[in-house]
Chain A
Amino acid sequence: MATAPPPSPQTPVLRLFVLGQSETVRRAIANARTLGPVEVIDVRDDPGAAEAARILATPTLIRTDDTPARIVGDLRDLDAVRAHLGPPYDALGAENHHHHDDP
């Protein structure tokens, strides 16, 4: 299966839209970072980007390459998140199980 490295750090394929700082946001960021490089965008800092990405709720993780995906929530079910994101993220699931759940 695809074992391509995560996309280059300069332009992460994964973007996480958040709003402010809360326990949920902190958890979502931590979970998202286990998937690879993530660009975290606070919708208050960049409302234009949020509108362009048609963000309805936060946290929303989106995949910006040609296999788009979007997931709302704190990403606590990392296996399901990976499965939904598809290759290459779905292959990493087995070896990485420290997901960030409720405190």
Chain B
Amino acid sequence: MMPSAPKTTTTTMTPDVTLYTLALDHLAEGVLLLESSGRIVYANHQAAMLFGHPADALAGTTFSAPIRTTGPVEITIPRTDRRPVIAEMQVVPLQAETDTLSLVSLRDMTGRYEAEAQLRESEATYRAVIATANDGFWLTDATGQLLEVNDAYLRMTGFSRSELLGCRPDFVDADEDADAVRARMAEVLESGGAMFETRHRTRDGRIIEVEVSVSFAPSIADGRLFVFIRDITPRKRAEASILAAKTAAEQANHAKSEFLAAMSHDLRTPLNAIIGFAEMIQMHMFGPLGDEHYEGYIADIHASGELLISLVDDLLDLSKVEAGKFEIQEQVVVVPTVMALARQQTATMAAEADQTIVIDHADDLPSLRGDQRALVQVFYNLLTNAIKFNRPNGPIRFTAALADDGSLEVRVADEGIGMSPDEVTKALKPFEQIDSAHARKHKGTGLGLYLCVQIMRLFGGKLTVDSTPNVGTTVMLWFPPTRVGAPAAVEAEAGDTA
């Protein structure tokens, strides 16, 4: 028999009843005993915990009419101190001595309900991810049969869901037939996933480029594949047009270089004749010229021919540099010797312009590893520029020095008209010439400085221009430490001076 008195009267109970209430207090379920009016006559420890009130306080209050339940009824217990408690309630009548008591048992389901709510929420989240994705999605079984397909894929291909469900990928794949798909499936089941590009057929027969990402979940049902399909048709088209444009540009550039190389060669032949015969006339090889004017004309013809030859040579070198065919010899170069050679080549030009080139370098300057012919060309270019643009009678200082870090610096400094920063930028580009009255007097291709930059790049060095209008220009050639000194001594020297 269950006790019929409130718990507060347990002191008057028999030892057996005390034992029962003790047992009830250790029950995992909440227990209430109700009178037919709904008044609580007893609440065990767990019920007190569920309601958040002491058992003594619960006794005497009205809970509910004791209506017998046929199955668990979900109730919620509002709590001020925590989130509501969700419990399953069962009510059964008990026959007591004085009144019909009902037993209310309450099982705490909060954890399970919350877990279920979380599960529902995460399910809804994942479902939404797939439903609202911009990428197409398939869920397939381990044989590739489509079990689900999202709206994005239907929009992408124009198929209806019912047309696709139950099909295998070869139904839409334009590149892979059933055998290829089977092979692909076997590979995915083996490796756990794959990413590849293929083409899918749309419902109206168009072909779209797609990027497919497949992952295999062996533990879901009898194995499921998650397949994301992205339409990369626009990207593929863009790639193709960029590639086509690049190829066309490369072809055009190549044709230009070929043309330049061929033309340069063809131009030299008649120029050689012009210069050669002009020299013969200047030397009066077959008798005097007669009128004095012809002496001047023939000198002009010769000078113009020489200029044309040098332009043609620049063009030839440029076409070689651009075609990657400008070859740098790896020789041991004695820098002062090359400097002297360059000065000698420009001596006539300097004398005519009343310019003096002053060479300055340390006696123990280390040798340079590089291409002597190319170096002479660079020095020659810089010196002729300096001669063209220097102020009358101004010195041109041609210096070489070893820097602290083991690199070698060669400078050509004039005191000429100089350039603004914008003009420096222009001067370093091919086919650009500074537009000034002074410059126009000196015809050229505008290739000289650009060629020097390219040759220095091939050396692994740099060319920098420091210029101030009306003060002068200093061009500095920097050769990396790895090119300085005899090849065997390079490493040691670089290490010591670092």
Contacts and interface: CB of A to CB of B under 8 A. Distances in A.
A20 B64 contact: no
Contacts of A84: 65, 67
Nearest to A18: B76
Contacts of B167: none
B78 A50 contact: yes
Nearest to B73: A73
Contacts of A76: 73
Given A70-B38, A72-B89, A84-B65, A59 B71 contact: no
Interface residues of A, number: 28
A60 B73 CA distance: 12
A74 B67 CA distance: 11
A56 B61 contact: yes
A94 B29 CA distance: 36
Interface string B53-71: 0000010011111011111
B67 A80 contact: yes
B113 to A, nearest CB: 9
Contacts, number: 76
A14 to B, nearest CB: 13
Contacts of B51: 56-57
B67 A56 contact: no
Q: Please report whether the interface of chain B is mostly helix, strand, loop or mixed according to DSSP.
A: loop
Given A19-B84, A70-B38, A72-B89, A56 B77 contact: yes
B63 A56 contact: yes
A73 B67 contact: yes
Given A54-B62, A56-B51, A73-B89, A20 B69 contact: no
Interface of B: 38, 51, 58, 61-65, 67-71, 73-78, 80, 84, 87, 89
Given A44-B78, A84-B67, 20 more contacts: A20-B76, A24-B75, A43-B78, A47-B80, A50-B78, A57-B64, A57-B77, A58-B77, A58-B78, A59-B76, A69-B38, A69-B65, A70-B62, A70-B63, A72-B63, A72-B75, A73-B64, A76-B73, A80-B68, A81-B65
Q: What are the 7 tightest A-B residue pairs by CB atom distance, in nearest-first order?
A: A72-B64, A84-B65, A80-B67, A73-B73, A24-B74, A19-B76, A57-B75
7 contacts: A23-B74, A44-B78, A56-B58, A56-B61, A59-B76, A77-B67, A81-B67
